[in-house]
Amino acid sequence: MAKYKNLILICAIFLLSTLPLFIIESDFSGADSIALEAIKETNPEYKPWFNSFWEPPGGETESLLFALQAAFGAGFLGYYIGYKKGQKKVRDR
Amino acid sequence: MGGIVVHFLKRILLTFLILVIIVVLPKPAAAMHIMEGFLPIKWAIFWTITSLPFIILGFFSISKSVNKNPELKLLLGVSGAFAFVLSALKIPSVTGSSSHPTGIGLGAVLFGPLAMGVIGFIVLLFQALLLAHGGLTTLGANTFSMAVVGPFAAYGIYSLSKKAGFSQGIGIFLAASLANIMTYITTSFQLALAFTGPTGFLVSLGKFLGIFAFTQIPLAISEGMLTVVIYNFLAQYSKNELSQLTNTRG
């Protein structure tokens, strides 16, 4: 059972993350907008005094960049996992 | 053997208990970094100055670890990669919105809070420049919440839980998940300080905490569990590096 602990954890994470999609009616809009609304309520006269140098032209490009960020990180993690498993194989021989 | 089964069943049960509680309190919420330009200039400067020394100290901390043990470079890369991946994921929460986990727990527990400060800063800089997520004016504040408070909370909770005799897994889980929550509590404080409005600081704080804290809870739990999964792998396959790290930390 102990050797399944990682699998169990991963299943639990998967459930936790996907359950909201099934039980909640929402478009799951990202966060910044709601904090923005709150600021409008407390300080309605506030205007942002600086704009980002560059913004992704649209939702699609933004998705691409987030996906790339995740992919680079995941790629490195995958490389590390493979490297270490190979190392162990050689060591245990 | 039965103990381990009970242990994990308890953990999963706790997760679902919290889930049920959160479902019963529906609140429209969302949480992420503070957007570009959304901190008044005096606060932007304040938080930048506050977080700067930590980043500088972090650079020294990293050079020290890596110079002593060059094999640790890969592991540092793993800590960074983990933060990169998790920060890029928008995960739906039971509150009906979505947010990002932080991913700084792993590196904080392995390399200490100062080193992780630098990595968190790099992730934030990347996201501010290329994704217009967060911002340059708010980089100081976001660095303070995610790259200073977060890692320190993770490291502190991990140390405390080891002293209390909890298992490695529980320690890592608590460190990563609570650090996630602490990061967003800090963000709430920062926003409440900057936007007290006519109703005052405490009311603002309550509002921002309501927005940020509840959404984060399921994400924090997921992050805690995921950090444990990665750590389990490292404990099995990277024993040398882990013992080197405990030696450098003393």
CATH at B180? 1.10.1760.20
Residue B172: which pLDDT band, with cuts at 50, 70 and 90?
Answer: very high
Residue B89 sits in which domain range?
34-249
How are beta strands B98-99 and B91-92 bridged, if at all?
antiparallel
Residue B23: which pLDDT band, with cuts at 50, 70 and 90?
Answer: very low
Assess if residue B219 is contained within a domain.
yes
What is the model's pLDDT at position B14? 63
Is B99 within 8 Å of A31 (Cβ atoms)?
Answer: yes
- Residue ranges of chain A with per-residue pLDDT less than 70: 1-2, 30-32
How many structural domains is chain B composed of? 1
Assess if residue B234 is contained within a domain.
yes
> Of A18-22, B16-20, B140-144, where does the model show the most confidence?
B140-144
Angle between helices B72-88 and B113-131 (to 10 degrees): 50
Assess if residue B2 is contained within a domain.
no
Beta-carbon pairs below 8 A across chains A and B: 208
Find the closest chain A residue to B231 by CA distance. A6
Residue that wins the pLDDT comparison between A46 and B2: A46
What is the model's pLDDT at position B85? 93
pLDDT in tens, B108-134: 999 999 999 999 999 999 888 888 888
Assess if residue B8 is contained within a domain.
no
Is B127 within 8 Å of B139 (Cβ atoms)?
Answer: no
Q: In this complex, do B229 and A9 lie within 8 Å of one another by their Cβ atoms?
A: yes
Contacts of B205 (CB under 8 A, 6+ apart): B188, B189, B192
pTM: 0.82
Residue B94, chain A, CB below 8 Å: the answer is yes
Q: In this complex, do A72 and B81 lie within 8 Å of one another by their Cβ atoms?
A: yes
Q: Which of B81, B127, B130 sits opposite A73 (nearest CB)?
A: B81
Q: Which residues of A touch B132 (CB under 8 A)?
A: 52, 54-56, 62
What is the model's pLDDT at position A32? 67
Residue B200: which pLDDT band, with cuts at 50, 70 and 90?
Answer: confident
Q: Is B210 exposed, middle or buried (0-12, 13-18, 19+ CB in 10 A)?
A: middle
Alpha carbon of A45: minimum distance to chain B alpha carbons (Å) = 10
pLDDT in tens, B29-72: 334 688 888 889 999 999 999 999 999 999 998 988 888 888 88
Alpha carbon of A49: minimum distance to chain B alpha carbons (Å) = 5
Residue B158, chain A, CB below 8 Å: the answer is no
Alpha carbon of A65: minimum distance to chain B alpha carbons (Å) = 7
The answer to which of A72-81, B152-161, B238-247 has the lowest mean pLDDT is B238-247
